[in-house]
C-alpha cells in the first residue's frame, strides 16, 4: 500500500514532470459476501469494499496523447483520445481507455494524460480489479478537468464504460461497492432501485479469507454474457404466467414450483439459482443483524453449491478450494466469489484457525494442481477517494 507521497514520487520517476498538478486517487477492490449473478437480474447483493486498492497518479498533457504505465504488470501503453480502440493484446489497458471514452461521450472536452498506476487487487481474481481501476481513473479525471460527477454518476459511467467499450455486460455491483464502500460494513444493495443499506460486519472474532485459484477468468470470452442472455430468456418464458416478472428478482421462491416447469431445463436451472440467491442475500442480512455468523456460513455453502450445480460457473480449482475450506475446522462457510470460471473463493473463518486453513488448503491445492494459491485476509474499507500529500 503506497503512501500518497510515494505514489507521487513514482509518477515523477516515470514521467518526469513534477511542476504541474498531479492528481492522486485510490479505489478499492471488493468482495461479495453473497449474492452472485443477481445484480444484472435487478436483484440483491451484499458486497464490501476491501483494504486492497488500485492507486492512480495522473497529470494533464498539452496534446491528445495518453500514456498509461502499470507498475503491476510493468507495461506502458500509449493511445490517442481521438482514435481510441479496444486492444485485445493489452486487456488491462482497455479499462482506463473505456472510462475516458465514456467521459468524452458525456461531452467532456479532455486533453491527454500521463497515468501511473499500481494495484494491490489481484487481476482476474474475482475482487473486481477492473472496477477499481475504472473508478480511480474517473476520480483522477474529475480532479484534473473542470467537470464534476456525484458518486452514483461515477458508478453508472464506469459501468457503462465496461459494458459498451470493454464488452463485459456486467451489473452495477462492482463499481457501486468500489465507490460507496464503508469501513467495517457490507452494503445491502438493491440493484433495481440502487437503494443501499450499510450492514455492520461483526468480525471481531472471525476473518474473511480470500483464496485465489490463479485461474484467470475470461468473462469477455462470452460465458458471462451468455448467462445474462439465459436470464433474459427466462423472463420472456415466464411472461404469460407471471406478467409482473420484469426481471428474475421479481420471482419469489414460493413461485418456483409453478415457474420452473414452464422453462427449458437449462433455463430453469439458471432461474432457480437467481431466485434462491436473492433470498439468500436477504437471509444473510438478517443473520448479520443478529450476529449469527454460523447462519451466514451455511448460506455461503449453499450459495456455492447453487453456483456450481445450477448456474454452472465454477471450475475444478474453485471447487477444490471451497471444498477443502469447508471441511477444515474453524471454517463456518465458503464459496466461489465473482463471475466464475476462475478467480477467487471466500471463506468465513474463526480467527485462531486462519493459519490452519491456509496450511490445509495450500497442501491439498499444491498436491492436486502443483501450485500454492495466494491468500488475502481482507477487511471492509472506505470507497474511492482523492489523496493529498
Contact in structure between 57 and 24 (CB atoms under 8 Å): yes
Output the pLDDT for position 217: 63
Collapsing DSSP states into helix, strand and coil, what is residue 150? coil
The domain that contains 88 carries what CATH number?
A: 3.30.230.10
pLDDT at residue 343 is higher than 90: no
Structural domain includes residue 324 = no
Structural domain includes residue 382 = no
Output the CA torsion 80→84→88→94 (10° steps): 90
pLDDT at residue 195 is higher than 80: yes
Structural domain includes residue 94 = yes
Output the pLDDT for position 87: 87
What is the average pLDDT across 245-267?
98
What is the average pLDDT across 207-215?
94
pLDDT at residue 223 is higher than 50: yes
Collapsing DSSP states into helix, strand and coil, what is residue 333? strand
Structural domain includes residue 26 = yes
What is the average pLDDT across 217-230?
75
Confidence at 125, pLDDT banded by 50, 70, 90:
low
DSSP for 256-275 reads HHHHGGGS-HHHHHHHHHHH
Residues forming a β-bridge with 58: 23, 115
Structural domain includes residue 367 = no
Percent of the chain with pLDDT over 90: 88
What is the average pLDDT across 191-210?
95
- Give the dihedral sign, CA 355/358/359/360: positive
Structural domain includes residue 340 = no
pLDDT at residue 256 is higher than 50: yes
Confidence at 263, pLDDT banded by 50, 70, 90:
very high
Q: Structure pTM?
A: 0.92
Contact in structure between 8 and 386 (CB atoms under 8 Å): no
Collapsing DSSP states into helix, strand and coil, what is residue 211? strand
Mean of the per-residue pLDDT values for the chain? 94
What is the average pLDDT across 53-58?
98
Count CB-CB contacts under 10 A for residue 3. Answer: 12
Distance in angstroms (rounded) separating the CA atoms of residues 273 and 282: 14
Confidence at 384, pLDDT banded by 50, 70, 90:
very high
Domain count along the chain: 1
pLDDT at residue 74 is higher than 60: yes
Cα 219–chain centre separation: 12
Cα 182–chain centre separation: 15
Confidence at 168, pLDDT banded by 50, 70, 90:
confident
pLDDT at residue 389 is higher than 90: no
pLDDT at residue 338 is higher than 60: yes
| Bridge pairing between strands 113-119 and 65-70 | parallel
Distances (CA, A) of 187 to 44, 45, 284, 310, 337: 10, 8, 12, 25, 16
Structural domain includes residue 132 = yes
| Residues contacting residue 269 through CB under 8 Å, at least 6 positions apart | 309, 310, 311, 312
Structural domain includes residue 240 = no
Distance in angstroms (rounded) separating the CA atoms of residues 85 and 216: 23
Between 7-16, 216-225, 377-386, the lowest mean confidence (pLDDT) is in 216-225
Q: Give the length of the chain.
A: 389
Distance in angstroms (rounded) separating the CA atoms of residues 382 and 53: 10
Alpha helix (H) residue ranges in the chain: 4-15, 94-105, 129-144, 151-161, 173-180, 223-238, 256-259, 265-289, 293-309, 316-327, 354-369
Output the pLDDT for position 371: 96
Distance in angstroms (rounded) separating the CA atoms of residues 55 and 59: 14
pLDDT at residue 251 is higher than 80: yes
Output the pLDDT for position 218: 57
Distances (CA, A) of 123 to 130, 131, 258, 292: 8, 11, 41, 32
Collapsing DSSP states into helix, strand and coil, what is residue 198? strand
Distances (CA, A) of 196 to 187, 212, 236: 6, 28, 28
Alpha helix (H) residue ranges in 290-338: 293-309, 316-327
Catalytic residues: 174
Output the CA torsion 58→53→69→106 (10° steps): -50
| Residues contacting residue 265 through CB under 8 Å, at least 6 positions apart | none
What is the average pLDDT across 274-295?
98
Domain range holding 116?
4-200
| 187's grid cell | 452494503
Residue 330's region, left for phi above 0, alpha for psi from -120 to 50, else beta, is: left
pLDDT at residue 220 is higher than 70: no
Residues forming a β-bridge with 198: 187
Amino acid at each position: 500500500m503506497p503512501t500518497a507521497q510515494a505514489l507521487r514520487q513514482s509518477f515523477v520517476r516515470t514521467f518526469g514532470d513534477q511542476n504541474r498538478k498531479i492528481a492522486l486517487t485510490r479505489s478499492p477492490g471488493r468482495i461479495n459476501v453473497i449474492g452472485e449473478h443477481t445484480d444484472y437480474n435487478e436483484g440483491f447483493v451484499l458486497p464490501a469494499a476491501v483494504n486492497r486498492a488500485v492507486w492512480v497518479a495522473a497529470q494533464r498533457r498539452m496534446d491528445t496523447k495518453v500514456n498509461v504505465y502499470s507498475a503491476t504488470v510493468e507495461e506502458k501503453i500509449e493511445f490517442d483520445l481521438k482514435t481510441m480502440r479496444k486492444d485485445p493484446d493489452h486487456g488491462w489497458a482497455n479499462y482506463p481507455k473505456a472510462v475516458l471514452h465514456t467521459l468524452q461521450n458525456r461531452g467532456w472536452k479532455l486533453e491527454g494524460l500521463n497515468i501511473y498506476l499500481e494495484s494491490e487487487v489481484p487481476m482476474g481474481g474475482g475482487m473486481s480489479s477492473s472496477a477499481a481501476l475504472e473508478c480511480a481513473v474517473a476520480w483522477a479525471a474529475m480532479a484534473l478537468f473542470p467537470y464534476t460527477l456525484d458518486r452514483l454518476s461515477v458508478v453508472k459511467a464506469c459501468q457503462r464504460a465496461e459494458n459498451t467499450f470493454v464488452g463485459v455486460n456486467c451489473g452495477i455491483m462492482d463499481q457501486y461497492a468500489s465507490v460507496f464502500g464503508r469501513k467495517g460494513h457490507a452494503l445491502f444493495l438493491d440493484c433495481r432501485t440502487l437503494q443501499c443499506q450499510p450492514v455492520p460486519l461483526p468480525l471481531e472474532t472471525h476473518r474473511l479469507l480470500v483464496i485465489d485459484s490463479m485461474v484467470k477468468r475470461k468473462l469477455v470470452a462470452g460465458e458471462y454474457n451468455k448467462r445474462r442472455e439465459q436470464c433474459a430468456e427466462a423472463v420472456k418464458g415466464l411472461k404469460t404466467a407471471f406478467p409482473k416478472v420484469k426481471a428474475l428478482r421479481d420471482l419469489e421462491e414460493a413461485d418456483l414450483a409453478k415457474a420452473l416447469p414452464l422453462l427449458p431445463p437449462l433455463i430453469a436451472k439458471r432461474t432457480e439459482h437467481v431466485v434462491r440467491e436473492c433470498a439468500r442475500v436477504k437471509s444473510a442480512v438478517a443473520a448479520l443483524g443478529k450476529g449469527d455468523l454460523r447462519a451466514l456460513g451455511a448460506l455461503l455453502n449453499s450459495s456455492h453449491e447453487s453456483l456450481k450445480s445450477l448456474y454452472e460457473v465454477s471450475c475444478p480449482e474453485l471447487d477444490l478450494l471451497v471444498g477443502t475450506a469447508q471441511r477444515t475446522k474453524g471454517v463456518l462457510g465458503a464459496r466461489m466469489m465473482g463471475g466464475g470460471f476462475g478467480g477467487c473463493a471466500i471463506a468465513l473463518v474463526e480467527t485462531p484457525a486462519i493459519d490452519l486453513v491456509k496450511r490445509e488448503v495450500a497442501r491439498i491445492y499444491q498436491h492436486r494442481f502443483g501450485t500454492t494459491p495466494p491468500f488475502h485476509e481482507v477487511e471492509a474499507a472506505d470507497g474511492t477517494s482523492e489523496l493529498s500529500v
